[in-house]
Every structure is written in structure tokens, then in C-alpha cells.
Amino acid sequence: MTRSNYLQSGISGIFAVSMIAGAVAPIFTGAPAAAQLRPVIISPISQTQSGVKTSVPAGTSIAVEYDNTNKIVVAPNETVPLTLKVEKTIFSRYGTTLIPAGSQVVGQLQPATGGSQFVAKNIVINGKSQPIYASSKVVTTTQQIRKGTSIKSIVKGAAVGAAAAAGIAALTGDRAIATEEVLGGTGAGALGGWLLGRRVDKVVVVNPDTDLDLTLASDMGVTVIVRR
């Protein structure tokens, strides 16, 4: 083999090795390391969006509202189902929506030491229900009920628990309360089970605008939408 052919053969071999190495070696873009990190994608939402798992920390306050009325009246020992609505969107520190306004919070208003308290069970975010561990403060505002008390001044425009409605009616003899919205029942028919001599001389009065805001008792996992 001449020297010229030997050199050509060597150069061709080096070029071939270079081509193979280039095919299997990783390609680095030269972009900063932080820019190359991606969140863990739980499920694709669309070609331009992804669902990413994160959490809302314990201790987070959630402002809620009750659309049906501006007052709720229940007996001190009464438990009634209640569905509230998130009033203000909860954002992450980066501005990502964690809990959108309008999400439904399903739970119950139940007896607590010194009054009544709303305890949340589930929250519906973007149509999907999941457990939530949160509660309101204990509502201690009460009103005494006596014969001669103007019942209409107490229950006008209020959502009234079935036990409170029947107990007030039994004490005062005023059955007009049955025409108000009755929680935990369907109006006058629901009162029949309570009209057995049970009397209520005190009721808990709840203002949904100020009394029912929630505090998370534990971290709550959520899936947020991130644009690619």
C-alpha cells in the first residue's frame, strides 16, 4: 500500500468513527441547567397543557360563601348538610391557580363546644371531587327564643335547620316558620318528625359571610394546569 493510500484509509476510518460516536452521544443544547428541568407530568390535558401534582399546605385559609341566604339558624344540637362555594381563588407563590373560585365545598354544620362549626368533607375542583380536611371557627352567636318572640325577625330570609324550625314552632306555636327554607329536609313535611314536644329555647345564628371561612387541617393534594 502506498503512503498516499494509507493516509486516505486512515482519514476515512477516523471520519467513520466520528459519525458513529455522534449518533449515540447525548445532545447538549448548552441551555442553563435550570431551564432544562421539567415538572413531573401526571397526565396530559392537551397538546399545550399538562396536569402537575402539587399541594395546598395545612393552615391555608379558604374564603367561602353561601349563595342561598345571608343567615343560617340551627338548634345547638343539630347537624345539617351544607354546600359552600369558594369565594376567592387560592394561588401558589408563583401565581398558579390551586383552588379556583367557585369550587364547591361539601360538608355539614354540626355541634361544637360552645356553638356550631362547619366541617368540610369534600371539595369539587373543576368537576372532580376529592377529600378535604378543613373546618370553620366555632360560631357562638345565639338568640334566645321565648313565647312572644317575633319569630319572623329571626327566620326572615334565613335557612333554618329542621330541628330549629320544629323546636321553635313547638315552643311558640308559630308554624309560619315552615314556609322558610328548611335545611336537612323538604319544608313542612320534614318538620313532622320533630314536632314531638321537642322545644328549642335557643338557636345558633350563623352569618355565612363571616363565620364559615375555612382553615385546612392538613396538606391537600391538587393537580394544577401548567402550560408547556
- Which of 222, 219, 221, 217 has its CA nearest to residue 57? 219
- Residue 220 belongs to domain with CATH number: 2.40.128.260
Q: Please state, in angstroms and as integers, the Cα–Cα distance from residue 116 to each residue in 1, 139, 155, following that order.
A: 101, 5, 17
Name residue 43's beta-bridge partners: 51
In a domain, 124, yes or no: yes
Provide the pLDDT for residue 144.
Answer: 86
User: pTM for this structure?
Assistant: 0.71
User: Domain range holding 83?
Assistant: 49-227
Provide the pLDDT for residue 45.
Answer: 40
In a domain, 185, yes or no: yes
In a domain, 78, yes or no: yes
Task: Report the run of H or E that residue 85 belongs to, with start and end.
Answer: strand 80-86
In a domain, 149, yes or no: yes
- Rounded Cα gap, residues 196 and 194, in angstroms: 6
Residue scoring higher pLDDT (90 or 52): 90
In a domain, 94, yes or no: yes
Residue 166 has pLDDT above 60, yes or no: yes
In a domain, 195, yes or no: yes
Residue 112 has pLDDT above 50, yes or no: yes
The domain total for the chain is 1
In a domain, 22, yes or no: no
Quick one: pLDDT band at residue 75, thresholds 50, 70, 90?
very high
In a domain, 219, yes or no: yes
Provide the pLDDT for residue 177.
Answer: 61
Provide the pLDDT for residue 165.
Answer: 82
